[in-house]
Structure 1
Amino acid sequence: MNITVFCSAADLDDRYTAPAREFAELLGKGGHTMVWGGSESGLMKVMADGVQENGGRLVGVSVEFLAAKARRNADEMIVAKDLAERKAGLLARGDAVVVMVGGTGTLDEATEILELKKHGLHTKPVVLLNTAGFYDGLQQQFRRMEAEGFLPLPLAELVFFAEDGASALAYLESAAASR
């Protein structure tokens, strides 16, 4: 399975990097391809290293203004002209989406992917990997949106909140098997 992963390019502490390494190992050993932003820094690098070290493939989708920071030994690297083209490329190349911890860029990617899914423009499974409770506040907000009628479909059909990489991958593999 090609799994698009959105995550931070920032250097983070062990409470985020250790679970990322574990998830990357699961992806690699499972024979999956990680489609990611292509960066050779931060959590993106942690994930890419772990996937490659464990036999998985890497497909990067970078962007022109960050191309100098792109990983050189990915199996494939695409360079988009702008962020909109990059997001579209990341979504197009994945069979499923996992959103890990990150800043405003990651949040932008997550909300766009969810908005497209809400409108039926894709049906790919989407997981928010809630490492160390990072997305607890967002999960609470989504539940409120659902309860107050802001979501046209049940939250459970829009996104799955996983507490760890094993449950994220189990959900994705189950969703793929039922398609």
Structure 2
Amino acid sequence: MSGICVYCASGPVDEEYLELAAATGRAIAEAGHTLISGGGNVSMMGALARSARSAGGYTIGIIPEALMRREVADVDADELIVTTSMRERKRLMDEMADGFITLPGGIGTLEEVFETWTGGYLGLHTKPVALLNYRGFYDPLLDWLQNLQGRGFVSAAALARIAVVDDVGAALSVANPSVT
């Protein structure tokens, strides 16, 4: 069984994105993988974990102590790991995961995927990273990255290190190391 780490929004989003998160959690569980997430119980992060468990999946949430105090922790996780900092949270997520899927999200989601993607590009790990560009959510970011490549700030090899996909099945195929 592989651990698939999912980065996604923890703030309010509309039903369409909650359904995407739920579909991702369900797909991970149905494929027999462990879900590793940021340990939140709200928004997409909560929908992701609840759906994985409802489909019989095992969930590991990793959350900083400061967020525990805000009462946003997924206390129903099969394992809930409380860290002292966001950096420790990300380190454990990186270590425990065999692959990564990034769903739509904001600055926290972007920070997580950029760090994981950069680590892979620098050779610090060989784990697959999928960016789920659901309904063009990340198109402006991808356009910007292409512009940076054209200006010499981002290499073609770096861009090739992240798999951009547009559905849950493709994201899971990329993030599942037994397939890639």
What does 1:29-178 correspond to in 2, within 5 Å?
A: 29-67=30-68, 68-152=71-155, 154-155=157-158, 157-173=160-176, 175-178=177-180
Q: Distance in 2 between matches of 1:65 and 1:20?
A: 24
**Corresponding residue number in structure 2 for 1:27:** 28
Q: Distance in 2 between matches of 1:176 and 1:136?
A: 29
> Aligned letter for 1:137?
P
Q: Which runs of 5+ in 2 are unaligned?
A: none
Q: Which runs of 5+ in 1 are unaligned?
A: none
Bigger CA drift: 36-45 or 114-123?
114-123
> Aligned letter for 2:64?
V
Q: Distance in 1 between matches of 2:171 and 2:152?
A: 27
Bigger CA drift: 146-155 or 74-83?
146-155
Q: Distance in 2 between matches of 1:102 and 1:156?
A: 20
Runs of 4+ in 1 over 6 A off after TM superposition: none
Bigger CA drift: 155-164 or 115-124?
155-164
Q: What is the aligned residue count?
A: 177
RMSD: 1.6
Aligned-pair distance for 1:153?
5.2
* TM-score, normalised relative to structure 2: 0.90
Q: Distance in 1 between matches of 2:137 and 2:12?
A: 16
Contact 2:101–2:175 at 8 Å: present in 1 too? no
Contact 2:102–2:109 at 8 Å: present in 1 too? yes
1:86-111 CA-partner distances (Å, limit 9, x unpaired): 11111111001111111111111111
Q: Distance in 2 between matches of 1:139 and 1:57?
A: 33
* TM-score, normalised relative to structure 1: 0.91
> Aligned letter for 1:66?
L
Contact 1:38–1:70 at 8 Å: present in 2 too? yes
3-state secondary structure, aligned to 2:178: helix
> Aligned letter for 1:154?
A
3-state secondary structure, aligned to 1:8: coil
Q: Distance in 1 between matches of 2:136 and 2:164?
A: 10
